[in-house]
Amino acid sequence: MIVVVDSNIAFSAILKTDSVIGDLILNSNKVFQFWSCHYLLDEIDKHWDKLKKISKLSESDLLDSQRLVYKNINFIDEGQIPKAFRLRAYDLVKEIDLNDIVFIALNEYQESILWTGDK
């Protein structure tokens, strides 16, 4: 089963790999294939200092956590998602959160399940 992971889920997994979310991403690859967009990598980089502060982990431990999580997620360039899916995703989230366009588009394109921390 393919599951698209958004930024909230990746943040949670990186912050605490021994949480339920972290455990699922790290240990359920026989059941789930986790996918996300390259945009997620930019989001993590953009909020790295915040992740470091919240986690209270050393830089080295946080990087290890990040590597473990990334190793279990397949990443796709947003440009590989057909434009029709990106436009539909825009229509779905334009009044909610434009940062979610790529995750919604990938989810629709892959006919998968979206795993998000958003309400």
Residue 47's pLDDT is 95
Residue 82's pLDDT is 97
50 CB-contact burial (10 Å; exposed 0-12 / middle 13-18 / buried 19+): exposed
Residue 105's pLDDT is 97
- Per domain, the residue ranges of the chain are 2-77
Report how far residue 3's alpha carbon sits from residue 7's, in angstroms, rounded to the nearest whole number. 13
Residue 71's pLDDT is 97
Residue 118's pLDDT is 80
Q: How far is CA 81 from CA 60, 71, 86, 97, 114, in A?
A: 34, 21, 7, 19, 15
Given a contact cutoff of 8 angstroms between Cβ atoms, the answer to whether 2 and 113 are in contact is yes
Residue 90's pLDDT is 96
Q: In tens digits, what is the pLDDT along the chain, a chain of 119 residues?
A: 999 999 999 999 999 999 999 999 999 989 999 999 999 999 999 999 999 999 989 999 999 999 999 999 999 999 999 999 999 999 999 998 888 999 999 999 999 999 998 87
